Amino acid sequence: MTRWEIRLFAMAPDPRRKRPAASTATVRPVRPVRPVRQVRERPPAPVMIDTSALIWWMCDPSRLSKLARNTLASPPNGLLVSAVSFWEVGAKVRRGRLDLGSSFDDFVTTVQAMENVSILAVDLPTWLDVIDLDWDHGDPADRIIVATARRHRATLVSSDRAMLAFYSEAVW
C-alpha cells in the first residue's frame, strides 16, 4: 500500500439541492501509523551518602548544602550507606581526628536503627568494580563508595570535588 490513499466520497441526492450531487474523488496523504511506544518510567534512584556527608548529616546538618539536605530529606528509594564509611569514621575517631559527640558504637547503632537506611557490605562484585574504575584517585574508601553508587545507580551525596567531577550522578 502506498502512502497515498484515494478516498471517494459519494453524495446521496439531496432533494433540497437544485443540481444533482456528483461523486468527487480527492487524493489525501495518509500519515503512517506509528505504533504507540510505551515509555517505561524508571524508578527513582536511591540515594547514597559518602562518609563526610554522613558525619555532617548525623552530627551537624548545617554543614550540608541545601541541595544535599533536600536530597537526604526524602530519598525516594531509601538511603544507602557503604560499610566502608563506618570503617573510615571508626579510624578517625580512634586516631582522635573526629569527635562524634557520643561513642562510635552509639553512632553505628543510631544509623543502623534509622528507617529507610540500608548499610551495604563491600562484596566481591563491588571490589571488582573498584578495580575497573577508570579513575585515578588514591583513596580506596572513595573508590569503594563511587563503585557502590554506580552498581546501585544511585545519586551520590558528597562534598568531595574529585567525586563530584568523576561521578555524574553526584550532588552537593
Residue bearing cell 526524602: 74
- Residues 51 and 53: their CA atoms lie apart, in Å, by 5
- Tens-place pLDDT, residues 37-62: 766 666 788 999 999 999 999 999 99
User: Could you give the angle at which helices 51-59 and 83-94 cross, rounded to 10 degrees?
Assistant: 70
% residues pLDDT > 90 (the chain): 64
CATH number for 47-171: choose from 3.30.70.100, 3.40.50.1010, 3.40.50.10470, 3.30.200.20. Answer: 3.40.50.1010
pTM value is 0.72
Q: Taking Cα atoms as reference points, which of 142, 155, 66, 81 lies closest to residue 114?
A: 81
CA distance 113 to 31: 59
Q: How many CB atoms lie within 10 A of CB 142?
A: 23
DSSP per position, 26-76: EEEE-PPPPPPPPPPPPPPPPEEE-HHHHHHHHH-GGGS-HHHHHHHHS-T
pLDDT digits (tens, 9 = 90+) for 62-121: 999 999 999 998 888 889 999 999 999 999 999 999 999 999 999 999 999 998 899 999
Q: Which three cell numbers stand for residue 23?
A: 461523486
Q: Average pLDDT, stretch 142-151?
A: 95
The residue written with cell numbers 528509594 in the block is 77
